[in-house]
Structure 1
Amino acid sequence: MRWKACWSRSFRVTEGFRHKDDIIGIFARHPVAANLVMIIMLLSGALALSSLNTQFFPTFDIQVVTVRVVWPGATAEDVEKSITIPLEQELRSVEGLDKITSTSAQGVGVVILEFPEGTDMGDATDRVDARVKAVRNLPQDARTPQVSHVINFEPIARMLIHGPSDLRELRKLAYRFEEELLQRGVAKVDINGLPEEEIAVQLPQRQLQALNMSLADIGRRINEISRDLPAGQIGKRDVARELRTLSQQRDTRGFEELPLVANLKGDYVRLGDVAKVERRSKPNQITITYQGKPAVELRAQRATTGDTLKSASILEKWLEETRAELPKGIKITVYDESWLLIRDRINLLLKNGLSGLVLVIAILFLFLNARVAGWVTLGIPVSFMATLALVWLAG
């Protein structure tokens, strides 16, 4: 009886570990299905690996809209009273707004609107723009408010263009390099150290008295004759064409040729006859020097949907081609290459992963037979590829 009881208990334990109807039993009886699932996991992981972005930080949206208004020559107090406060009063009731802050400085006012996570920022930007256009009591000489959604860009690298002592030689190169990089696929290129320029017109007091005009009269006269204006339409229907006069001057020579006085008596006075016209940098601009000489910085950045390493490859190829064609004395120095950190991290991950995989395989083959150890080893990369597929599907 003692032997029979022991045999019965042993039989019940064996019955409890049968996998006839669970997932392990199903795949054990249908090895072809198990192999197909494994192949699907490998293929989906390979597809996900080719689709996932290579980037330093996870992608996230910035739920911020900014409103910027420039008022040349105004003090910070005037900007706050005439621009910032009216905008705040109009924008504080924007639908879905979470927080509003503002900054008033000399000649500029900025209002920052923050929205909750998950907000459709395209729709939010449109709502803010509609409210800004509804503000009618802004100063007449203030510039048009600029409404923009803050977009997150990840840096790739920074470059310095330097060499000559005259910054004007670098200006055209900086704009040309920016256009080339954008055309090749770099999402955004910021230019720093290149001061904004203005056309300055200076008249001595005696010339104003001789012309019997004030500075305000000169300004109005220039504004009247230096502008592009619509001139109607020619043709009908599909062959209709818009006509436009192109009288807006954009260089010193054009402004010097503007007629200040022209009448039937034969009086004809050009602006260049009585005034000094020059192109100069605006005051309080940021400049960059490298080894005692002026320089211009280019910041290459990628969008949230772009791949850092692909953008870096575009940049490296462009640098190789451009450096060979640079004018004498012009150099490009690259620094703060953020993409190198990503490449180094990926290489470190691969190195550690491969070394760990070798150790695991060695231990498996040491304690298990070759067939079982081989299948367990194969399960490691299959698991990784399936995980990559899930990460890709989860966004």
Structure 2
Amino acid sequence: MSILTMDKVKTIKTLNDIAQSGLNVFNNDRYMVDKDSEHPDAIVVRSFNMHDLELDSNLKAIARAGAGVNNIPVDKCTERGIVAFNTPGANANAVKELVLTTLMASSRNLFDGITWAKTLEGETEVAKRVETGKKQFVGKEIKGKTLGVIGLGAIGALVANDALRLDMDVVAYDPFISIDAAWSLSRKVHRAMSIEQVFAESDYITVHVPLTEDTKDMFHEEVFRLMKPGVHILNFSRDGLINEEDMAAALESGKVGKYITDFPNENVLKMKNAVPIPHLGASTQESEENCAIMAARQVKEFLETGNIKNSVNFPNASLPYTGKPRVAAFHKNVPNMVGQLSTAISEYDLNIADMVNRSRGDYAYTMIDIDNEVNGDIIPGLEAKIKEIEGIVTVRTF
């Protein structure tokens, strides 16, 4: 390990109860987990709203043990040079299982049937009442039906593959599918050439995309007209993807047969044939542990080597850590920045052994390994020199 690496104990602050299996990642003498720390090096959080929280000048990273980062002031973090991580895919299996469970249960009118059966408590001849009353809950089997999957990330790909195993036909649309997702997807999944094709062909539609300006209200009156009568729509992504006024009208008319959502609110609870799930998509012991472990490992890797994976505001960047002295700079994405960093290092008669530079929008991140033994006295001067460069946001040495 380089003489520049981790010269003091790093403090990790938690803003929610984080699974112990995740906190155990920091179980060595270089770290201290302290939920009350006022000057943490990193924060691990689940749902705590951080928007009104003062961000200490010592803070270097925030890791969300989950996928969504709406509770983190991402833009503020970027301006301050604080990495914001999330954990995509860590809860994918949990969400997939709930999607398939509710798909089958709603198709068989299971939720309505159970609710009705409970009303028979205290009645006489319950068994007879059940036999005569069950006719109102006759449902449909999913075998042979078409499931439309919009978004083929970690969750969408799992849903598509397992739906095939349930003898469904699957048509999917994702213009931005990643290479990893493409490799994991079964060849039997039919690729839709447009999202309208998914709307038109599907008996059931499940959506797995982030909420952005482009996807907000993507389910609205006009697209409902393209769908089969009685289509079931499952939303385990974000409530803002659905225009709730149009959804209520489509449910009332029967154009949409069921709306299954993990995001109940006052409007959803009033909708006919809506199935409100109390945000249970990732609520499993396994999912919480997976998210906590993944978040902690990403923070630990960043604090010890500068490598970044699954950041929502910094570019992902990785350089194998060999123990050589390392400089990591977060800076504006402007011309000649790498040249200026190289010049600053050369002024101390240091050679560059390896380097990586990655950009993301208006910002970029550069890591440089130095091919010299470095006297510790050089480091403060080098850091000060680099900080003088216009456009530099933060500098760290390892």
TM-score range, shorter chain: under 0.3
TM-score of the superposed pair, with normalisation by structure 2: 0.23
Pick the structure with more helix per residue: 1
TM-score of the superposed pair, with normalisation by structure 1: 0.23
Q: Comparing both chains, which one has the higher relative contact order based on Cα–Cα distances under 8 Å and sequence gaps of 6 or more?
A: 1
